[in-house]
Amino acid sequence: MVVKLKVWRQAGPGQPGKLVDYVADKVHPDMSFLEMLDVVNEGLIRKGDDPIAFDSDCREGICGSCGVVIDGIPHGPDKGATTCQVHMRRFKNGDTITIEPFRARAFPVLKDLVVNRSAFDRIIAAGGYVSMNVGGAPDANSLPIAKAMADQAMDSAQCIGCGACVAACKNAAAHLFTSAKISHLGVLPQGEPERDRRVVRMVEQMDREGFGSCSNEGECEAVCPKKISISNIARMNRDFLRAIV
């Protein structure tokens, strides 16, 4: 099949960018979306042109590296999938596909479709951990944890830090990302001692990074490749209130 592409090209940070047209022919329905871009890039390289820069690594939906906006939707049309998990069978012969970077003030574009999401690392550094040193841990089974609680923690802990939630939000809020970590650690007894301190520090860092506020649109949950629930945000707000009052 053949698809037409409109791809955001931008030479570097702070430089002007624009959508550029390409044609991808010899597209096989079993190709992944990124393999289709690989093939387009091969063609560009052979002509000596600058290939389209995009991040990707594991190509199986877990590392969180990849992430572009496909026809207006972060990670594209599949529910619960990252960009690398989208396959070309999802599109029709002759379709025009628009590909843009994740856009947010806190995610500056480095080149083309590559953005800098290190703000997420700084949010984690502000408090997304249990403060314990290697060597002091008690036996792993000394503290039973109800299965339902462990499962709930795992649901939140699955976040891959891709930033689609930010890209989908009209306010570019990082609430889903931040709250997922707060819930993961907050529901477990190991995280309880730092529960108040953690939420305050992480929320403050989120604000410092230039992310917006949450206005309950739910777009984040809709595009999350790991289907992280928006109820994490409610929990974060509750914890924040509890901590500062």
Partner 1 sequence: MILDSKTPSGPIGDKWDRRKFENKLVSPANRRKFQVIVVGTGLAGASAAASLGELGYPVKVFGIHESPRRAHSIAAQGGINAAKNYRNDGDSVYRLFYDTIKGGDYRAREANVYRLAQVSVNIIDQCVAQGVPFAREYGGLLDNRSFGGAQVSRTFYARGQTGQQLLLGAYQSMMRQVNAGTVTLHQRREMLDLVVVDGHARGIVCRNLVTGELESHEADAVLLCTGGYGTVFYLSTNAVNSNVTAAWRAHKRGAYFANPCFTQIHPTCIPVSGDHQSKLTLMSESLRNDGRVWVPKSQGDRRPPAQIPDADRDYYLERRYPAFGNLVPRDVASRAAKAVCDEGRGAGDSGLSVYLDFADAIKRNGEDTIKARYGNLFDMYARITDENPYQVPMRIYPAVHYTMGGLWVDYNLQSTVPGLFVLGEANFSDHGANRLGASALMQGLADGYFVAPYTVANYLGGTNLPPVKASHDAFGAAKADAQGRIDKVLQVKGTRTVREFHRAIGAICWDHVGMARTEAGLAGAISQIRTLREEFWLDVIVPGDANNLNPGLDYAGRVADYMEFAEVLALDALERRESCGGHFREESQTPDGEALRKDDEYSYVSAWEFKGVGAPPELHKEPLIFEEVHPTQRSYK
244 contributes a contact to partner 1 by CB under 8 A: no
Under 8 Å between Cβ of 178 and 239: no
Footprint of partner 1 on 159-218 (CB under 8 A): 160-161, 184-185, 188, 190-191
Which residue number, 159 or 169, has a Cβ lying nearer to partner 1?
Answer: 159
- What is the Cβ-side half-sphere exposure of residue 95, based on CA atoms within 13 angstroms? 14
Question: Contacting partner 1 (CB under 8 A), which of 1, 6, 95, 145?
Answer: 145
133 contributes a contact to partner 1 by CB under 8 A: yes
103 contributes a contact to partner 1 by CB under 8 A: no
Question: Contacting partner 1 (CB under 8 A), which of 71, 98, 103, 110?
Answer: 110
Under 8 Å between Cβ of 186 and 199: yes
Task: State the minimum distance, in angstroms, from the CB of residue 216 to partner 1.
Answer: 27
Under 8 Å between Cβ of 173 and 211: yes
77 contributes a contact to partner 1 by CB under 8 A: no
Which residues, other chains included, contact 56 with Cβ-Cβ below 8 Å and sequence gap of 6+? 34, 65, 66, 83, 84
Nearest-Å Rg of the Cα atoms of the chain is 20
From 95-103, 111-119, 217-225, 230-238, give the range in contact with partner 1 by CB under 8 A. 111-119
From 1-9, 28-36, 96-104, 209-217, give the range in contact with partner 1 by CB under 8 A. 28-36
Under 8 Å between Cβ of 45 and 138: no
From 23-31, 68-76, 211-219, 229-237, give the range in contact with partner 1 by CB under 8 A. 23-31
- C-beta atoms surrounding 170 within 10 Å: 9
131 contributes a contact to partner 1 by CB under 8 A: yes
2 contributes a contact to partner 1 by CB under 8 A: no
Task: State the minimum distance, in angstroms, from the CB of residue 129 to partner 1.
Answer: 4
4 contributes a contact to partner 1 by CB under 8 A: no
- What is the Cβ-side half-sphere exposure of residue 140, based on CA atoms within 13 angstroms? 0
Phi then psi for residue 77, to 5 deg, are -80, -20
**Euclidean distance between CA atoms 21 and 6, whole angstroms:** 5
Task: State the minimum distance, in angstroms, from the CB of residue 242 to partner 1.
Answer: 19
Under 8 Å between Cβ of 60 and 28: no
Best CA proximity match to 52, nearest among 70, 39, 62, 61: 39
Question: Contacting partner 1 (CB under 8 A), which of 16, 72, 94, 144?
Answer: 144
From 97-105, 135-143, 166-174, 234-242, give the range in contact with partner 1 by CB under 8 A. 135-143
138 contributes a contact to partner 1 by CB under 8 A: yes
DSSP β-ladder status, 3-10 and 96-101: parallel
126 contributes a contact to partner 1 by CB under 8 A: yes
